[in-house]
Homo-oligomer: A and B are copies of this chain.
Amino acid sequence: MLEIQKLLKKEKTKIVLVVLDGIGDLPVKDGKTPLELAQTPNLDSLAKDSATGLQIPVDYGITPGSGPGHLGIFGYDPLRYEIGRGILEALGLGLDVRESDVAIRGNFATVKYEDSQPIVVDRRAGRISTDENRRLIEKLSQKIKRIDDVEIILCSGREHRFSLILRFPHPLPSSAEQVNDTDPQAVNRAPLIPRGQSPEAEPIAEVARKFIDLAGEILRDEEKANYVLLRGFSVKPALEPFPRRFGLNSCCIAVYPMYKGLARLVGMDVITFEGEDIEDEIQALRQWWDAYDFFFIHIKKTDSYGEDGNFEGKVKVIEAFDRALPEVLKLNPDVLAITGDHSTPCKMKSHSWHPVPVLIYSPFVLGNTSQRFTERECLKGELGIFPSHKLMQVLLAHAGRLQKFGA
């Protein structure tokens, strides 16, 4: 096992990692992919002078969620480090997750009572509106602020979904998350009672039981959402923080909460800035240029359009990024990498397993292997097809931040 940390060298070089979310695609028109259809003079020129290739986020044939997709490009093998569902949900809602937290996915549900025993009649409370959800979360938050010495943090999601964080006064071990889901997975059944499957998990289960009882009382007279179901109990994964792991003073420039949350999870600073466009992100990059060694810039819309099956939209985002690219280059990063966290083919309207194009611009590349930054051109590149969690090593190398291995 390579211990990359032992090879780290102190340097002042700067690395920019641009993640075009879900960038990889399949042919959508005239046999061409969105990257092939887009007019990208700046990217084309960059590709010729760069090392190119494709990365596999998790494993051959495996479609990654956003969590594993980002862990990989952040240099953590997603098969080794898992981010629990409760944590991801919380990050997606913009919640801060700490080492002393258990994050849980909640559902509002409808129950009837038989001999004081709740029986689930609708596991999603008729998919109540998000506004209704907000009203209920406000009501619960007002009445349940603490249970014993545990702080209770609630946040509305969409429709019947919410996020619950139990914030303990001390850090929790990974075994603390071993609490069963309470959703019985079918109607006309009693909700399951949360139980700790390990000694460390039992105190968590106990707080969860108390929360469920309190919430049940507070919601008792609600027409639809008169109960809560909990699942995906999870603690923050034990990750060596990114800045220490790679010796990089690191920050995240992103618009969506999920990606800020993922960056914060691995220990990056999250930059606050005005606006939501690519230009605003580049402006933030410029503004914070002197303060950091490593910049993770997340561009979301390529994925959103892929999920919608809107290839024209995806092409437009790619072209907008292409127009913004010279502004990034003007900053003279020592290493500029462009890739995605996974592919989102428009014809599939979902994430997929297809390898993701990657480009590394630095003085230390072979280059002149790919004429453009596209799936097919990157196949010709000097990086070949490689696991995403090796990318960080290659970026550090190009930044002159790794010593020789052995003598």
Contacts and interface: CB of A to CB of B under 8 A. Distances in A.
Interface of A: 1-2, 7, 26-27, 31, 33, 54, 58-68, 78-79, 82-83, 85, 88-89, 345, 347-348, 350-355, 363-369, 375-376, 379-386, 390-391, 393-398, 402-407
Contacts of A82: 406
Contacts of A85: 407
Given A59-B393, A60-B391, A354-B366, 10 more contacts: A2-B79, A26-B366, A31-B368, A33-B366, A58-B406, A61-B393, A89-B407, A351-B404, A353-B397, A379-B384
Given A354-B366, A397-B353, A62 B382 contact: no
Nearest to A368: B31
Contacts of A405: 58, 62-65, 68, 78
Is the contact region of chain A dominated by helix, strand, or loop, or is it mixed? loop
B395 A61 contact: yes
A27 B404 contact: no
Given A402-B61, A405-B64, A364 B384 contact: no
A365 B402 contact: no
A30 B128 CA distance: 66
Contact of A7 (B2, B62, B354, B380): B62
A390 B348 contact: no
A83 B407 CA distance: 8
A253 to B, nearest CB: 23
Contact of A26 (B62, B78, B365, B369): B365
Contact of A364 (B26, B382, B395, B397): B26
Contacts of A402: 61-63, 353
Contacts of A355: 382, 384
Contacts of A88: 406-407
